[in-house]
């Protein structure tokens, strides 16, 4: 057995309410014991185990938080859309049309190029405190390009999502039903060995509620778990479809009706907010307060993609959520850790309970509040994943 004791922690965030009665489960003047890659004990520094510890690390009074769980990314792509971003900042409105450009670039890229770009983004994410990441396909939109995208994604994460239903590709614009048949038939069969989830972009310019239902049900019948892009660009029935199918998470949810909130409040579905998209498209930020008032579980994620949220930085997402969306610093941190875990229906990550995977970051600050208080400053001093330091 390998054991590491992290001691003299000024503020340890566990997300275990038993410690202080709050969702963050903060222990001040704390210690954390790791054995064989999992959390063996967390508690006051004065009570820390002293025997049979192979390695001791002094945190020097700094804060320790669970690793971020980024439950929504699109990291398998080639090229960028910086020109589109510039035009949008000069006043053009955002629609899903720019995805076609990334599809073209991705189809023509080699496996090596796609892999290297994904690894670069993954290293960025790790460096900013993310220890678990979900990754979607959706920029290939052919049987072979979706398959290879997910095979690449599976090489670095177990949270792989088939998003063949991102948009209808240009070659099927005149026959979109034929594309739905492709997604639910040969494409689905090709990606099954590399996918855990199935997703659909159900919104203006993408897929209708009926088509989304057909696609999600086809994936579920083959053993994939459902999640859903919904209500990013306008109100619609996507959120209620997600609740109907018990999807793990409905993502974006920037435009919610009272019926949407009522449906979510009685469901097991997480509402995942992606403020990087509002930031990068200069759209209105959603307000988290109606979701909280209805006791809906909320997650935060980066939505890393080249068109509408080209960031891997979860502290940046936290800062936006606090400044623009009425999150408290506590809720933002919980939503970026435990909330993300719930959006992936995982109970071994996003927290530092006994038995959890030892995924955490040491901050170069004495409080998690600095994540929002000092936006744009890299406060992630060390990152640990499965009990091993990766940064």
Say what the pLDDT of residue 50 is: 83
R_g (Cα) of the chain, nearest Å: 21
Please indicate if the annotation marks 74 as binding a ligand.
Answer: yes
How far apart CA 85 and CA 91 sit, in angstroms, is 10
pLDDT at 95: 59
* Domains with residue ranges and CATH for the chain: 3-66+350-389 (2.30.40.10), 68-343 (3.20.20.140)
Render pLDDT for 220-273 as a digit per residue (tens, 0 to 9): 999 999 999 999 999 999 999 999 999 999 999 999 999 999 999 999 999 999
* 310 annotated as a binding-site residue: no
Segment 147-176 shows an average pLDDT of: 97
Say if residue 326 carries a ligand binding annotation.
no
Q: In the block, which residue shows the tokens 């054995």?
A: 35
Is 305 one of the annotated binding-site residues?
yes
The pTM of the full predicted model, rounded to 2 decimals, is 0.97
Kindly write down the DSSP assignment for every residue of 239-287, as one continuous string. Answer: HHHHHHTT-SEEEE--S--HHHHHHHHTSS-EEEE-HHHHHHHTPPPPP
351 is in an annotated binding site: no
Question: Is 308 known to sit in a ligand binding site?
Answer: yes
Residues 366 and 29: their CA atoms lie apart, in Å, by 11
pLDDT at 218: 98
**CB contact set of 185 (below 8 Å; sequence gap of 6+):** none
- Residue length of the chain: 391
Residue 372 has pLDDT above 60, yes or no: yes
User: 3-state class of 132 per DSSP?
Assistant: strand
pLDDT tens-place string over residues 166-219: 999 999 999 999 999 999 999 999 999 999 999 999 999 899 999 999 999 999
Average pLDDT over residues 112-122: 98
The response to whether 166 counts as a known ligand-binding position is yes
To the question of whether residue 307 is assigned a binding role by annotation, the answer is: yes
State yes or no: pLDDT of 305 exceeds 70: yes
Instruction: Check the annotation: does 51 bind a ligand.
Output: no
Q: How confident is the model at residue 130 (pLDDT cuts 50, 70, 90)?
A: very high
Q: How confident is the model at residue 308, as a pLDDT? A: 94
Residue that the structure tokens 């006043």 belong to? 91
* Contact indicator for 358, 369 with CB cutoff of 8 Å: no
Angle (nearest 5°) at CA 125 between 344 and 350:
35
Token pair, residue 277, equals 């998209």
In this prediction, residue 87 carries a pLDDT of 87
Residue pair 203/166 in contact (Cβ under 8 Å)? The answer is: no
């Amino acid at each position: 057995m390998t054991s590491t004791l992290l001691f003299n922690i000024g503020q340890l965030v566990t997300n275990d309410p038993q410690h202080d009665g709050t969702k963050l489960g903060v222990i001040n003047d704390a210690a954390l014991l790791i054995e064989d890659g999992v959390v063996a004990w967390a508690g006051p520094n004065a009570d820390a185990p002293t025997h049979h510890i192979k390695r001791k690390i002094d945190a020097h009074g700094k804060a320790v938080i669970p690793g971020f769980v980024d439950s929504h990314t699109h990291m398998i792509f080639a090229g960028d859309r910086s020109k589109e971003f510039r035009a949008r900042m000069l006043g053009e409105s955002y629609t899903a049309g720019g995805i076609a450009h990334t599809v073209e670039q991705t189809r023509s890229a080699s496996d090596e190029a796609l892999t290297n770009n994904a690894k670069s983004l993954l290293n960025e994410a790790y460096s900013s405190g993310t220890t678990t990441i979900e990754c979607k396909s959706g920029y290939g939109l052919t049987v072979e390009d979706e398959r290879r995208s997910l095979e690449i994604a599976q090489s670095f994460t177990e949270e792989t999502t088939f998003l063949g239903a991102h948009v209808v590709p240009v070659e099927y614009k005149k026959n979109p039903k034929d594309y739905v048949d492709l997604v639910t038939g040969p494409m689905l069969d090709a990606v099954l060995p590399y996918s855990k989830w199935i997703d659909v972009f159900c919104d203006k310019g993408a897929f209708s509620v009926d088509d989304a239902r057909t696609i999600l049900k086809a994936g579920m019948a083959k053993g994939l778990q459902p999640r859903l892009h919904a209500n990013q660009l306008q109100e619609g029935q996507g959120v209620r479809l997600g609740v109907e199918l018990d999807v793990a998470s409905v993502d974006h949810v920037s435009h919610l009706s009272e019926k949407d909130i009522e449906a979510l409040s009685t469901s097991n579905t997480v509402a995942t907010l992606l403020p990087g998209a509002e930031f990068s498209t200069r759209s209105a930020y959603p307000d988290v307060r109606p979701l909280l008032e209805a006791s809906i579980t909320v997650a935060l994620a980066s939505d890393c993609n080249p068109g509408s949220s080209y960031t891997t930085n979860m502290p940046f997402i936290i800062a936006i959520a606090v400044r623009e969306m009425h999150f408290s610093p506590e809720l933002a941190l919980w939503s970026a850790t435990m909330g993300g875990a719930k959006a992936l229906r995982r109970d071994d990550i996003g927290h530092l309970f006994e038995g959890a995977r030892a995924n955490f970051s040491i901050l170069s600050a004495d409080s998690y509040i600095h994540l929002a208080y000092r936006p744009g400053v890299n406060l992630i001093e060390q990152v640990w994943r499965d009990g091993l330091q990766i940064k």
